[in-house]
Amino acid sequence: MKDKRSDKKIKYLPITFSEKKDLENRILNSVQKHKYRKRRVRFLAAFAASTLFLGGLGFYFSQSTSEPMSITDYVNSNVSEHNVNSDKVTLILGKENEIKIDEDGAMVTYSNSGQDISVGSTKTISQKTTIKDEPVYNTLLVPYGKKLKTKLSDNSVVWLNSGSKMVYPATFSEDKREVYIEGEAIFEVAHNKEKPFYVVSGNQRIKVLGTVFGVTNYQDEGSINTVLKSGSVEISYQGDSKTSEPMDKFRITPGTKASYNKKNKSIISEKVDVESYFSWRDGYLVFKQDDLRHIMKRISRYYNLKIVGIEKISSNETFSGYLDLNEDITKVMESIKESSVIDYGLSENEITIY
């Protein structure tokens, strides 16, 4: 059987030379456009990939080089408005969550994770320790007339005196432990050679490995004092601006007080009876020929009383003795009166020197 298709003839139509050239040009143009589109697609894909990589690299560098906010920056931007003019100890978690501590003598104790906090014998509080990879800072405000003992997440113990403020992270970083102090505090630092403990107060920075020492830095006093009871501390002082180079670091030995004069920036150290600087945590004061004006300032903080006429006390007037801070203020003032030449008057909120 014959294939019918074989009977069909293919007819070739004649084509002119100009038509032939026009057809060739259209074919060539079509091929070139197709190649260009392929190259353009490849180029755009490569550009997009490189942009994504560079953008990701920029993000990586941005993330890896950004440092968490330092404790000093946090204090300057968030804590300056917090004051100790209250009738109760206040614990502030983060920037806003304020907790008033009603129980007298209550101890604030942190778990090792920093997430759980025991306040006294009845209250337990939970918190986050980081938010968006930034540490959560806590603040303790101890008003005049109060004092507080706290145990931090690293098991270090801190006693805060009247009119004091401490800022610290809920849990410490991997390489250091750092707190900020205004007022007066005694530290018993848990030893950890791999993670030194730092205390920042004003422009003073103390590096500690594990020791017992006290820091005093009230705004109405002209010096920052550091008294070492045991162990070793390294002290450095920053200039007036953040860009200032720190002054030479130096160490003090047990039984020594280092005093930094805020006005003339001088530093002196001397041997002292350390117990007179640590006795307040046990509820009494010991004085040995101490400046009576300074003693009256301390008494005003412990009893939350204003002193009127303190300038009437001679700058040469001193006092030696033992004062029980659990006693009524009248008994304390009578003890001072018996051993000095001052007279005084008491009202509800102030002591007047005559």
158, 152 contact by CB (below 8 A): yes
- Supply the pLDDT for residue 102: 87
- Supply the pLDDT for residue 47: 36
Give Cα 328 to chain centroid, integer Å. Answer: 36
Task: Quote the pTM value.
Answer: 0.77
Rounded average pLDDT over 313-321: 91
Confidence of residue 21 (pLDDT cuts 50, 70, 90): low
The answer on pLDDT for 169 being more than 90 is: yes
- Supply the pLDDT for residue 56: 39
Structure tokens at 146: 């109060």
- Supply the pLDDT for residue 24: 59
Give Cα 9 to chain centroid, integer Å. Answer: 97
The answer on pLDDT for 33 being more than 80 is: no
Measured CA to CA, the distance from residue 100 to residue 93 in angstroms comes to 11
Rounded average pLDDT over 198-205: 93
Residue showing tokens 């047990």: 254
pLDDT digits (tens, 9 = 90+) for 6-15: 444 444 445 5
Rounded average pLDDT over 22-28: 58
The answer on pLDDT for 16 being more than 60 is: no
Least confident of 10-19, 55-64, 134-143, 308-317: 55-64
Measured CA to CA, the distance from residue 344 to residue 259 in angstroms comes to 31
238, 260 contact by CB (below 8 A): no
- Supply the pLDDT for residue 107: 96
- The dihedral over CA atoms of 230, 234, 239, 244, expressed in degrees to the nearest 10, equals -160
Give me the architecture of the 71-271 domain, per CATH: Sandwich (2.60)
Q: Which fold has domain 283-353?
A: Phage tail protein beta-alpha-beta fold (3.55.50)
The answer on pLDDT for 328 being more than 50 is: yes
Rounded average pLDDT over 71-88: 77
The answer on pLDDT for 351 being more than 60 is: yes
Rounded average pLDDT over 42-56: 37
Read off φ and ψ for residue 78, nearest 5 degrees: -130, -25
Q: To 5 degrees, how large is the angle CA 14–CA 15–CA 16?
A: 130
Rounded average pLDDT over 303-317: 92
Between the two ends of the chain, the Cα-to-Cα distance in Å is 143
The answer on pLDDT for 324 being more than 60 is: yes
Confidence of residue 340 (pLDDT cuts 50, 70, 90): confident
- Supply the pLDDT for residue 305: 94
Confidence of residue 277 (pLDDT cuts 50, 70, 90): very high
Confidence of residue 50 (pLDDT cuts 50, 70, 90): very low
202, 166 contact by CB (below 8 A): no
pLDDT digits (tens, 9 = 90+) for 84-114: 767 899 999 998 799 999 888 899 999 999 9
Q: Are strands 148-151 and 157-160 parallel, antiparallel or unpaired?
A: antiparallel
pLDDT digits (tens, 9 = 90+) for 115-128: 999 999 889 999 99
Report the chain's mean pLDDT, rounded to a whole number. 82
pLDDT digits (tens, 9 = 90+) for 244-276: 566 678 899 999 999 999 998 889 999 999 999
Rounded average pLDDT over 147-168: 97
